[in-house]
Amino acid sequence: MEKELKLINVNKKYKMAGKETFQALYDINVEFEKGELVSIVGESGSGKSTLMNLIGGLDSDFTGEIISGGENLGKLTDRELDKYRKNKVGFVFQSFNLISHLSILDNVTLALTLSNVGEKEKVERAKNILDRVGLSEHLKKKPTQLSGGQKQRVAIARALINDPDIIIADEPTGALDSGTSMQILQILKEIADSGKLVIMVTHSEKVASISSRVVEISDGRITGDHKNEKYKKTKSAKIAVDVSKTTTHETENATTDTAENASSKSDKKKKAKNSKDKQNLSLWQAIRLSFHNMWASKTKNFLMAFGVAIGIGSLILMMSFSSGITDYISATMNSYSDPTIATISKTGSSSDLASMFAYNSFSEEEIDGLVSNINAELDRQFQEGLLEEKFEITDENISYGIQMMTMTTGAKVIYNPDGIVVDYFNDAEMAESGLSFQNIIYLYTTPPYYTDTNIIDGEMSTAEGGIMFSPSIARLFEDESIFNEDGTNREVDIAFTFTNAQGQSTNLTFDHQEITATVDTSVMSNFLVMYIDYNYFQTLFNQNQGTNLDPNVLYIKTDSEEVTNAINSILAGMEGYTGSIEEQLANMFINMSSVIGTSLIVISCISLLVSAMMILVVLYMSVTERTKEIGVLKSIGARRKDIKRIFTSESFLVGLLSGVVGIVFNVILTLIVYLVLINTIGIAPISYRWWYFAVALLVSIGISMVAGLYPASKAAKLDPVESLRRE
């Protein structure tokens, strides 16, 4: 009869630092049969554990042959060895090596979980076996709640769950008192008597004397091998494991169960092949296992998640801030423009503020040229069917304006073709001006798209003698009102001086001008802007200068929004022209805010990088803390892939948790920032896009999974023998 286990000329050398080796086993030749209860005895350091690890398939670095159940261990691939450990052998260790964060039930079923056996079958089999070792009452307990003897019985149940042919027990009673030792021994004996091969390492003579055979090892060599003639088999070995189970190991395939007959056997084998993937640890189970582990150190994990969450939360805030500013500006822009008026102004020669504020006027020839260019293009678009209606710019639908000429009350504004120079009045002149302090004023001629809806206070009128202001004007009066006590319009005198290129200066004075209204001026609201009728302004200017001031804005009243858009896009394609100055300003703000927004996002990303390092360190430490556990997992047949999967699931969970906490944190943070902004500057430009949260989740899961790559692969590569040896 074929022996269950056969070792032929087995030699084992450990590689040491450098090129040195240490030979732990010499020419081991030994055979074992099913039903034997073998004690391996020998002094500490004689090579017993080394032998056990070889037999158990934990260590495949040896010379010679080990034939177990017909398989030549030295010739198996890593995957086949994993399978061998999973199905053919069961390990019992001196220090129990139960996984502390899993319940007794989960510890016992771990090997089945690794094989993706269905929940129901798993529990049934575990209960069955735990019942046999007398622990059916303790399924839900954690290992720390059990006594040493109970723990070892759990470990035995775990070793038995896959119905292996060989049980390897390395000093199973070493950590137990003698009474408990005897109970454990009795269980092992019953397992052997039920037809399995049990090989145990022991120091206790008493334990050895009860076994059916004693093999002595000394300095890596077998020095004795005695059969115990007095050995008596237990009559009815009650541990006889799971009679319903087949001798093949296909049963681990989740769908199989007890009804076993010859005809279905081949079907079953096929099935097992087809569902090969299903025989391995499922992603869901990996997540469940890592969840248990994370739960076991929830404080640590929560703190770590919170650290990441701070980065994630501020990242969302920065994104919503940056889009909020853009939204706010474009919303205000939209509410202050008329879709049937196209505004044209000239861009400065460069994009800096000084150039933008310079007075870029249109000469008559330039206007004619521009208008005919636009007309030609509009005509072409109409001919080609790009425009539904024909539109031509004529004297009828074009009007002019002046915008953004800087002047100051209490100051002389000196105009010359090269720019504007500001010269201050003396105190006496200042007192005469009627305004309480100096302030820069922007002069606008009233744009045609301003209507009553833009009026804040007073009435829309910039006919002769009347001027309008942005709301800030009111603040310049003590009672903050543009009206006198009797309800009449307040009047102001504003005087400034234009100096032409030849140095001839002319005073331009607005005497007793009624402030007829304050208007909301979109992005210009916080500036002091004065609105005056274009024709009235030109009359005044002509009186003083003998000539008109060239306009710097053209307004084209179109028939439809379509034409307006067409004109705007024609302008966009032309060098040197742009829309209204508000539009330019708005674009500048949007650009500025996106620069600021981007830098804030970069800062958040740096904080996320720090978080990633933190995750890496924590997961790395977790691998170190859990080497024993990883060794145990490997001993029961976990593949590298499974270990990696468990650790990767853990980083996934860390990322998910951080993302969720980050979103909650962000909502709270945003609320605070919102309230602070509303109560201080009156507006809170924060707008969310739904996908910000999705991005946050993905980023947080992404960084934790990337950070987890290294620890996970380190865990997967741990040498099981090394990790189990670790105390």
Binding site for ligand ADP (CB under 6 A): 14, 16, 22, 24, 42, 44-50
Select the binding partner of residue 50 from Mg ion, ligand ADP, none (C-beta < 5 to 8 A, by kind): ligand ADP
By beta-carbon proximity to ligand ADP, the closer residue of 64 and 348 is: 64
**Number of residues engaging Mg ion in binding (CB under 5 A):** 1
The three-point CA angle 508-509-514 to 5° equals 140
Task: Say whether residue 345 binds Mg ion (CB under 5 A).
Answer: no
* Residue 198, strand partner residues: 37, 167
Select the binding partner of residue 22 from Mg ion, ligand ADP, none (C-beta < 5 to 8 A, by kind): ligand ADP
Secondary structure of 92-135 as H, E, C letters? EECCCCCCCCCCHHHHHHHHHHHCCCCHHHHHHHHHHHHHHCCC
Q: How far is the CB of 661 from ligand ADP (least distance, A)?
A: 43
Q: How many beta carbons lie within 10 A of that of residue 41, not counting itself?
A: 22
**Cβ-contact 109, 161 below 8 angstroms:** yes
Q: How far is the CB of 724 from ligand ADP (least distance, A)?
A: 10
Q: How far is the CB of 13 from ligand ADP (least distance, A)?
A: 9
By beta-carbon proximity to ligand ADP, the closer residue of 21 and 383 is: 21
By beta-carbon proximity to Mg ion, the closer residue of 49 and 293 is: 49
Select the binding partner of residue 47 from ligand ADP, Mg ion, none (C-beta < 5 to 8 A, by kind): ligand ADP
Pairing of strands 213-218, 529-532: unpaired
Q: How far is the CB of 48 from Mg ion (least distance, A)?
A: 5
Token digits of residue 281: 């640890």
3-state secondary structure of 369: helix
Helix axes 627-635, 78-87, angle to 10 degrees: 80
Q: What are phi and psi of 225, to 5 degrees?
A: -155, 100
By beta-carbon proximity to ligand ADP, the closer residue of 104 and 632 is: 632
**Which residue is closest to Mg ion by CB?**
49
Q: How far is the CB of 221 from ligand ADP (least distance, A)?
A: 12
**Cβ-contact 434, 484 below 8 angstroms:** no
By beta-carbon proximity to ligand ADP, the closer residue of 46 and 558 is: 46
Q: How far is the CB of 28 from ligand ADP (least distance, A)?
A: 12
**Cβ-contact 132, 241 below 8 angstroms:** yes
519, amino acid identity: V
Select the binding partner of residue 612 from ligand ADP, Mg ion, none (C-beta < 5 to 8 A, by kind): none
Of the candidates 166, 159, 165, which has an alpha carbon nearest to the alpha carbon of residue 248?
165
By beta-carbon proximity to Mg ion, the closer residue of 413 and 721 is: 721
Q: How far is the CB of 690 from Mg ion (least distance, A)?
A: 60
By beta-carbon proximity to ligand ADP, the closer residue of 220 and 597 is: 220
Alpha-carbon distance of 510 to 537, in angstroms, equals 10
Q: How far is the CB of 153 from ligand ADP (least distance, A)?
A: 23
Select the binding partner of residue 483 from ligand ADP, Mg ion, none (C-beta < 5 to 8 A, by kind): none
Token digits of residue 145: 């709640």
- DSSP structure string for 26-64: EEEEEEE-TT-EEEEEE-TTSSHHHHHHHHTTS----EE
Select the binding partner of residue 143 from Mg ion, ligand ADP, none (C-beta < 5 to 8 A, by kind): none
Dihedral sign computed on CA atoms, order 612, 618, 623, 626? negative
Q: How far is the CB of 43 from ligand ADP (least distance, A)?
A: 7
By beta-carbon proximity to ligand ADP, the closer residue of 51 and 192 is: 51
421, amino acid identity: V
3-state secondary structure of 234: coil
Alpha-carbon distance of 649 to 294, in angstroms, equals 11
**Cβ-contact 469, 527 below 8 angstroms:** no
Q: Provide the mask over 23-62, with x wherever binding to Mg ion is found by CB under 5 A and - wherever it is not.
A: --------------------------x-------------
By beta-carbon proximity to ligand ADP, the closer residue of 155 and 707 is: 155
**Cβ-contact 424, 438 below 8 angstroms:** yes
Select the binding partner of residue 400 from ligand ADP, Mg ion, none (C-beta < 5 to 8 A, by kind): none
For 228, counting Cβ atoms within 10 Å of its Cβ (0-12 exposed, 13-18 middle, 19+ buried), the class is: middle
Q: Spell out the residues 6+ positions from residue 448 whose beta carbon is closer than 8 angstroms to its own.
A: 338, 341, 399, 401, 555, 557
Question: What's CA 531's distance to the chain center, in Å?
Answer: 51
Identify the H or E element spanning 191.
Answer: helix 178-193
Q: How far is the CB of 142 from ligand ADP (least distance, A)?
A: 29
Select the binding partner of residue 324 from ligand ADP, Mg ion, none (C-beta < 5 to 8 A, by kind): none
By beta-carbon proximity to ligand ADP, the closer residue of 44 and 426 is: 44
Select the binding partner of residue 403 from Mg ion, ligand ADP, none (C-beta < 5 to 8 A, by kind): none
**Cβ-contact 535, 481 below 8 angstroms:** no
CA within 13 Å, CB half, 60: 17
By beta-carbon proximity to Mg ion, the closer residue of 24 and 304 is: 24
Dihedral sign computed on CA atoms, order 388, 389, 394, 397? negative
Select the binding partner of residue 46 from Mg ion, ligand ADP, none (C-beta < 5 to 8 A, by kind): ligand ADP
Q: How far is the CB of 616 from ligand ADP (least distance, A)?
A: 28
Q: How far is the CB of 173 from Mg ion (least distance, A)?
A: 13
By beta-carbon proximity to ligand ADP, the closer residue of 171 and 250 is: 171
Placement of tokens 């998640």 in the chain: 305
By beta-carbon proximity to ligand ADP, the closer residue of 170 and 242 is: 170
Select the binding partner of residue 681 from ligand ADP, Mg ion, none (C-beta < 5 to 8 A, by kind): none
Residues, the chain: 727
Q: How many beta carbons lie within 10 A of that of residue 254, not counting itself?
A: 19
Select the binding partner of residue 24 from Mg ion, ligand ADP, none (C-beta < 5 to 8 A, by kind): ligand ADP
Q: How far is the CB of 14 from ligand ADP (least distance, A)?
A: 3
Select the binding partner of residue 554 from Mg ion, ligand ADP, none (C-beta < 5 to 8 A, by kind): none
Binding site for Mg ion (CB under 5 A): 49
